[in-house]
Amino acid sequence: MRETKNKAPSSGVKERTRLPAGVAIITLSSLRTAENDESGDIIQQLFETSGHTVSVRKLITESRNVLRATLRELARQKDVHVIITTGGTGLACSDITVETVRGMLEKEIPGFGSLLTLLTYPQAQSAAMMSRAIAGTLNKKLVFCLPGSPRACKLATESLILPELGNMLSVVRR
C-alpha cells in the first residue's frame, strides 16, 4: 500500500487567506446600547486583531423590515465583504434574524450552524440546540448570523469564521 503525503497549500492559497476584509457588524436588540454591546465589541476586537477593518457597526431593533433594509444597504457597499449579525437566533417570538436572513441568502452554508452547535455543546449541553446560527452569501458577501451570547460570538468568530475567512472570500469573489 502506498503512503500518501499531505501537501502544504500552495503559496497562492496562503496569500488569499491573508487578504484583509471589510466587516459590518449588526447587533439586533431592543435592550442593548452601544455602551453595553459586549458581543459586538468581542466580534470587532477579534476581526481587528486579525488585520481586518470593521467599517460599519450598527445596533438595530428586532424588526424584519429594518434588518432587510440594513442587509440590502450593506450588500451594495464595496468596502464590506463580511456581514456579521449578533442576536435574534433563538426561539423567542422576537428572534427574527434567521427567518429574515435565510430568505435573502443566495447560498446557505449549513455546516456553519451545525459546527457551532457541536462546539457549543460541551459548555451549554442540550441548550446548544436552541441556537439557530446560520451563514451564507449575499451579493458576493459572506453573512454570518450569530447568537447574542458573547461567549458564542467569541467561539464562532475564533474557531469557525476567522480560520476559513480568506478561503471563503476567495471562492465567493470569483
3-state secondary structure of 109: coil
Residue pLDDT, tens place only, 15-54: 445 678 999 999 999 888 888 999 999 999 999 999 999 9
The partner residues of 173 in beta bridges, in order of sequence, read none
Ordered by where they begin, the domains of the chain are: 20-172 (3.40.980.10)
Residues 6+ apart with CB under 8 A from 8: none
Among the listed residues 29, 43, 160, 154, the one whose alpha carbon sits nearest the alpha carbon of residue 88 = 29
pTM of the model: 0.89
Q: Give 153's contacts (C-beta < 8 A, 6+ positions apart).
A: 39, 42, 43, 86, 146, 147
Cβ atoms 127, 142 nearer than 8 A: no
pLDDT one-digit tens code per residue, 69-127: 999 999 999 999 999 999 999 999 999 999 999 999 999 999 999 999 999 999 999 99
**CB-based burial label for 148 (10 Å; 0-12, 13-18, 19+):** buried
Q: Which amino acid is at 144?
A: F
Which helix (H) or strand (E) segment is 140 a member of? none
The partner residues of 60 in beta bridges, in order of sequence, read 28
